[in-house]
């Protein structure tokens, strides 16, 4: 980076933070099929439109202390975190690769990865608007880089970046679709969804065919290695939550409102948290467990079993409770643990379904930044298709 370009970096961060604000809109609306253009941003709790002064990335959330100005409802810390993260992505891309199409490609890919990881984790959706839109931008950026080469080397140089980007998109889609088709044929169940196919095609437009192979390998390794870390963190978190809940009935209800539900001795629900409330057909606070709908029934059955065992002084745990509606629009795999506390039975719930798209997103950013030297090391004198796309 040129010394004079350093002065531009704060503005690059600000631009990234603004795009991070738009990324939050995409994360919130696209899984619901809503427009990202209208209506204007509003508080999810009271639906009051957000004024311009309250829509400044990161800063507004801090000044409002994380609450809506109109109704004082809490605003998720996800919003400033995404804004700051995308701002940092743009800053790092410009700092490492200068101001130009290379840095822009890396920043766009990483921003798309943030959006897709969030929507896949929360709603198991990889929106076409992001995968297809950013795929198209990747091809445009590759063509832009070729036009710069054409000016110095002539028309025959066009395609040095564009064709590997196109090949990476096609190659990635074919490989993942083929793996999914083979799994479905052998096991009779869905292996890879079309969302994953579209996502790897998008990634391929930025990293090329060689980068696609590295991304799939890195994502698979990350999925295997990282799977144990959330389990350890969950154990430590639950241990602290139960210790606090055992101190008083008030603390027990507070923990239920954070992480699960509290069931009184008569089977009525005494406290509920977001993980319980989001399940379709889950009875509200004050109602008995018995009228739980078909989607909430597995968790309700676990709570009734845990309630009986708690009467004998035993705790109850289950590692994977599948909770899904008939349409497939709502799907969760939950870990659950129930223990007797003052006021009844505290059931803590935690998601344990981390979809493959999350690992693909993380791997794509790593491969774009460091995949070039890895391909050089693996290939030796044999050039990998698309190596020129990577820094």
Q: What is the mean pLDDT of residues 38-55?
A: 87
* C-beta separation of 349 from 275 below 8 A: yes
pLDDT tier, 189 (very low <50, low <70, confident <90, very high otherwise): low
Q: What is the mean pLDDT of residues 4-13?
A: 86
* C-beta separation of 357 from 199 below 8 A: yes
Higher pLDDT among residues 137 and 124, named by residue: 137
pLDDT tier, 227 (very low <50, low <70, confident <90, very high otherwise): low
Among left, alpha and beta (phi > 0; psi -120 to 50; other), residue 110 is: alpha
| Distance of alpha carbon 35 from alpha carbon 41, whole angstroms | 11
pLDDT tier, 382 (very low <50, low <70, confident <90, very high otherwise): low
Query: Where are any strands of DSSP class E within 305-376?
Result: 316-324, 331-341, 344-351
Q: What is the pLDDT of residue 1?
A: 62
In a domain, 280, yes or no: yes
pLDDT at 184 over 90: no
Secondary structure of residue 287 in the 3-state scheme = coil
pLDDT at 335 over 80: yes
Please say whether the dihedral angle defined by the alpha carbons of residues 354, 358, 362 and 363, taken in this order, is positive or negative: positive
Q: What is the mean pLDDT of residues 315-336?
A: 83
In a domain, 279, yes or no: yes
Gyration radius of the chain's alpha carbons: 24
Domain that holds residue 323: 229-351
Q: What is the pLDDT of residue 107?
A: 97
Highest mean pLDDT among 33-37, 93-97, 348-352, 387-391: 93-97
Q: What is the pLDDT of residue 328?
A: 62
Which pLDDT tens digit goes with each residue over 259-300? 899 999 888 999 999 999 999 999 999 999 888 889 999 999
The pLDDT > 70 percentage for the chain reads 95
Q: What is the pLDDT of residue 323?
A: 86
Q: What is the pLDDT of residue 321?
A: 86
Helix and strand numbers (H, E) in the chain are: 12, 5
pLDDT tier, 175 (very low <50, low <70, confident <90, very high otherwise): very high
Q: What is the pLDDT of residue 191?
A: 60
In a domain, 183, yes or no: no
In a domain, 20, yes or no: no
Least confident range of 187-191, 236-240, 244-248: 187-191
pLDDT at 230 over 90: no
Q: What is the mean pLDDT of residues 352-356?
A: 80
In a domain, 388, yes or no: no
- Structural domain count of the chain: 1
Higher pLDDT among residues 323 and 251, named by residue: 251
In a domain, 116, yes or no: no
Q: What is the pLDDT of residue 86?
A: 97
pLDDT at 4 over 70: no
pLDDT tier, 173 (very low <50, low <70, confident <90, very high otherwise): very high
Tokens linked to 224:
């295997």
Which pLDDT tens digit goes with each residue over 116-128? 999 988 888 899 9
pLDDT at 106 over 90: yes
Q: What is the pLDDT of residue 119?
A: 93
Q: What is the pLDDT of residue 221?
A: 86
Q: What is the pLDDT of residue 87?
A: 97
The helix or strand, by DSSP H or E, that contains position 261, with its residue range, turns out to be strand 260-263
pLDDT at 179 over 80: yes
Average pLDDT, the chain: 89
Please say whether the dihedral angle defined by the alpha carbons of residues 196, 201, 205 and 211, taken in this order, is positive or negative: positive
CATH of the domain at 324: 3.30.450
Q: What is the pLDDT of residue 56?
A: 92
pLDDT tier, 208 (very low <50, low <70, confident <90, very high otherwise): very high
pLDDT at 385 over 90: no
In a domain, 363, yes or no: no
Q: What is the pTM of this model?
A: 0.77
Q: What is the mean pLDDT of residues 121-137?
A: 92
Strand order in the sheet with 316-324: 269-272, 260-263, 344-351, 331-341, 316-324
pLDDT at 108 over 70: yes
In a domain, 268, yes or no: yes
Q: What is the pLDDT of residue 44?
A: 78
């Amino acid at each position: 980076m040129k010394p004079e370009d350093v002065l531009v970096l704060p503005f690059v961060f600000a631009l990234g933070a603004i795009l991070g604000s738009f990324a939050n809109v995409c994360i919130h609306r696209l899984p619901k099929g809503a427009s990202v253009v209208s209506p204007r941003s509003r508080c999810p709790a009271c639906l009051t439109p957000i004024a311009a002064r309250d829509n400044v990335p990161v800063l507004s959330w801090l000044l409002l202390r994380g609450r809506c100005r109109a109704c004082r409802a809490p605003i998720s810390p996800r919003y400033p975190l995404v804004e700051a993260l995308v701002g940092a992505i743009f800053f790092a891309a410009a700092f490492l690769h200068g101001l130009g199409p290379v840095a822009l490609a890396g920043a766009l890919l990483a921003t798309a990865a943030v959006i897709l990881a969030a929507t896949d984790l929360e709603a198991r959706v990889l929106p076409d608007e992001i995968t297809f839109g950013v795929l198209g931008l990747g091809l445009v950026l590759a063509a832009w880089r070729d036009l710069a080469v054409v000016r110095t080397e002539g028309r025959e140089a066009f395609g040095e970046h564009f064709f590997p980007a196109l090949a990476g998109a096609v190659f990635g889609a074919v490989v993942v679709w083929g793996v999914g088709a083979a799994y479905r044929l052998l096991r009779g169940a869905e292996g890879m969804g079309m969302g994953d196919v579209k996502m790897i095609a998008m990634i391929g437009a930025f990293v090329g065919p060689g980068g696609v192979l590295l991304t799939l390998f890195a994502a698979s390794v990350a999925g295997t290695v990282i799977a144990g870390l959330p389990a350890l963190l969950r154990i430590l978190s639950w241990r602290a939550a139960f210790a606090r809940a055992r101190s008083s009935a008030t603390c027990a209800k507070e923990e239920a409102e954070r992480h699960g539900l509290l069931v009184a001795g008569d089977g009525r629900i005494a406290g509920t948290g977001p993980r319980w409330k989001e399940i379709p057909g889950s009875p509200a606070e004050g109602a008995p467990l018995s009228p739980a709908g078909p989607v909430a029934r597995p968790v309700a059955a676990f709570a009734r079993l845990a309630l009986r065992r708690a009467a004998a002084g035993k705790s109850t745990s289950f590692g994977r409770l599948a909770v899904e509606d008939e349409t497939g629009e709502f799907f969760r795999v939950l870990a659950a643990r129930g223990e007797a506390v003052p006021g009844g039975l505290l059931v803590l719930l935690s998601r344990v379904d981390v979809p493959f798209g999350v690992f693909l997103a993380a791997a794509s950013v790593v491969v774009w930044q460091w995949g070039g030297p890895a391909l050089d090391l693996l290939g030796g004198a044999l050039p990998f298709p698309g190596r020129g796309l990577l820094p």
